[in-house]
Amino acid sequence: MPFALALACCVLAGAGVVDPDRLGATVLLGELALDGRVRPVRGVLPSVLAARSAGLRRVVVPVAALEEAGLVDDVDVYGATTLDQVVGWFAGERELDRPLGPPPTAAAAVPDLADVVGQPDARRALEVAAAGGHHLLLVGPPGTGKTMLARRIVGLLPELSRDEALQLASVRSVIGEAGGDPLSRVVPFVAPHHSSSMAALLGGGSGLARPGAVSLAHRGVLFLDECAEFQPHVLDALRTPLEEGEVRLARADGSVRYPARFQLVLAANPCPCAPARDRDCICTSIVRRRYLGRLSGPLLDRVDLRARMVPVTEIGGAGEAEEDTATVRARVLAARAAAAERWSAHGWRTNAEVPGPALRRTFGLPRTVVRPLEERMRAGELSARGADRALRVAWTLADLAGATSPDRETVDNALYYRERGAA
């Protein structure tokens, strides 16, 4: 029990061993072994954050969790090894350990976008996705670099703020993975296997529901490789966190909410046989449609960008070099800065966060600019949600181009990435 140390101290206070007044102003976290050792527990960081929110400024934790608990400002954190130490500390007869301060964080190495040979359309789609926080689908035969390209989006994204890093560290703390560098600013990249269950993806388990992959990817990237191999009901369960940015898990003894605002990147082969060349495919048209049909319409409607990967015909080498991560990242950060300045008065930071009503009314574009969207909506080829998402992509394309707002050509390009990019 994470509150066993607190229960033991309450019993000792009732027996007159511990001062009740001092005990009442102290939060105690930790399990107790039979020999009196204070054992580590999961969820120390969110517990200390909750204590600070409640106005409590003194916390005792297991020594093993001292560094994790010390990440919270304005709280006096102490580390204990045994119950005897805690009793002596309450009596003023001994001192407990204190945090040494955060260790220096080494810069994380990220794979370089220059390693990807060819694929100009997919590279551009990745840049747009990073600049606007949009969801992305990559479709192509094996060996075309879908996974390689997807993993390079992390290097294009800005590092996490301290508050975002604390949020992510709190999620990891709940599952007992806050060790190493607990306050890493590196954008998380989570890639669950296609055999993952709904509990592994969304969270679950007995007792207190544990966070799943969507929460571990909070403020980062959730990459579903071979997405057509996932169970359809597992994929469809992503729809709610994609819209709401959180996941709610209900249990008999209550419910819990975990943050889940992530950027979704999907990768899929065009068919089950997945040959290197389309003309070598042995699948019937029905089989091909059924394979990608495992991605439901409502889920695909939430994917803003789709890119078709083509077989690579050149090895690369001494010829013209591809753009590296640093070059593309500079454009991405400039576009994000433009979007953040535009939406700052409303509390949004990226184009992907802007609600549809704001896009259509507060920041509405001329009818001549949005006419391609209206034509597709009247033809039943585009939903209202799809039109909003195309508008968000158009704003991102305008930011990358340094324009103040999208024009007709920009909207057409946004529709291309949504409709024909994966055709």
pLDDT of residue 243 exceeding 60: yes
- Residue 403 domain-assigned (yes or no): yes
404 and 377 in a single domain? The answer is: yes
339 and 242 in a single domain? The answer is: no
150 and 281 in a single domain? The answer is: yes
**Spatial separation of the C-alpha atoms in residues 220 and 142, rounded to whole Å:** 25
pLDDT of residue 106 exceeding 80: no
**Spatial separation of the C-alpha atoms in residues 420 and 307, rounded to whole Å:** 8
Tell me what pLDDT residue 291 has. 87
**Residue 353 CB neighbour total at 10 angstroms:** 17
Q: What contacts 288, CB < 8 A, 6 or more positions away?
A: 270, 271, 281
Long-range Cβ pairs for the range 161-168 (8 Å, 24+): 161/185, 164/219, 166/45, 166/49, 166/71, 166/72, 167/218, 167/219, 167/259, 168/216, 168/218, 168/219, 168/220
81 and 145 in a single domain? The answer is: no
Q: What contacts 332, CB < 8 A, 6 or more positions away?
A: 127, 130, 131, 156, 157, 400
**Residue 273 CB neighbour total at 10 angstroms:** 14
85 and 180 in a single domain? The answer is: no
**Spatial separation of the C-alpha atoms in residues 105 and 398, rounded to whole Å:** 35
Q: What total of structural domains would you count in the chain?
A: 3
pLDDT band at 102 (very low <50, low <70, confident <90, very high): low
What proportion of the chain, given as a percentage, has pLDDT over 70?
93
Q: Give the three-class secondary structure for 246.
A: strand
190 and 301 in a single domain? The answer is: yes
pLDDT band at 420 (very low <50, low <70, confident <90, very high): low
- Residue 107 domain-assigned (yes or no): no
- Encoded tokens for 206: 């007995």
Provide φ and ψ at 32, rounded to 5°.
-115, 130
Tell me what pLDDT residue 117 has. 85
What CATH number should be reported for the domain holding residue 282?
Answer: 3.40.50.300
pLDDT of residue 375 exceeding 70: yes
**Spatial separation of the C-alpha atoms in residues 417 and 412, rounded to whole Å:** 9
pLDDT of residue 247 exceeding 90: yes
Which of the two residues, 277 and 193, has the higher pLDDT score? 193
pLDDT of residue 181 exceeding 80: no
User: What would the mean pLDDT of 393-415 be, rounded to a whole number?
Assistant: 95
Buried b (16+ CB within 10 A) or exposed e, 360-376: eeeeebeeebbebbeeb
Using only the alpha carbons of the chain, give its radius of gyration. 25
Tell me what pLDDT residue 423 has. 39
Q: Give the three-class secondary structure for 254.
A: strand
Last residue of a domain, one of 90, 105, 136: 90
290 and 329 in a single domain? The answer is: no
Which of the two residues, 280 and 286, has the higher pLDDT score? 286
pLDDT of residue 178 exceeding 80: no
CA 42 → CA 293, 302, 357, distances in Å?
40, 34, 41
User: Parallel, antiparallel, or unpaired: how do β-strands 136-139 and 76-80 relate?
Assistant: unpaired
- Residue 406 domain-assigned (yes or no): yes
Q: Are 49 and 41 in contact (CB under 8 A)?
A: no
| Strand ordering across the sheet containing 58-62 | 27-28, 58-62, 76-80
- Residue 103 domain-assigned (yes or no): no
Give me the sign of the Cα torsion angle 116, 223, 390, 386. positive
- Residue 356 domain-assigned (yes or no): yes
115 CB-contact burial (10 Å; exposed 0-12 / middle 13-18 / buried 19+): middle
Say which residue the tokens 């009503």 belong to: 357
Domain that holds residue 386: 325-420
355 and 413 in a single domain? The answer is: yes
234 and 262 in a single domain? The answer is: yes
Tell me what pLDDT residue 340 has. 95
pLDDT band at 232 (very low <50, low <70, confident <90, very high): very high
13 and 72 in a single domain? The answer is: yes
- Residue 374 domain-assigned (yes or no): yes
Q: Are 415 and 407 in contact (CB under 8 A)?
A: no
Q: Which amino acid belongs to residue 293?
A: G
Last residue of a domain, one of 90, 105, 127: 90
- Residue 166 domain-assigned (yes or no): yes
pLDDT of residue 19 exceeding 50: yes
CA 64 → CA 98, 103, 327, distances in Å?
12, 15, 42
| Confidence (pTM) | 0.89
pLDDT of residue 268 exceeding 70: yes
DSSP 103: P
146 and 212 in a single domain? The answer is: yes
65 and 25 in a single domain? The answer is: yes
- Residue 108 domain-assigned (yes or no): no
Last residue of a domain, one of 308, 333, 364: 308
What CATH number should be reported for the domain holding residue 77?
Answer: 3.30.230.10
pLDDT of residue 346 exceeding 60: yes
pLDDT band at 22 (very low <50, low <70, confident <90, very high): confident
User: What would the mean pLDDT of 401-417 be, rounded to a whole number?
Assistant: 94
**Spatial separation of the C-alpha atoms in residues 244 and 233, rounded to whole Å:** 18
User: What would the mean pLDDT of 81-89 be, rounded to a whole number?
Assistant: 93
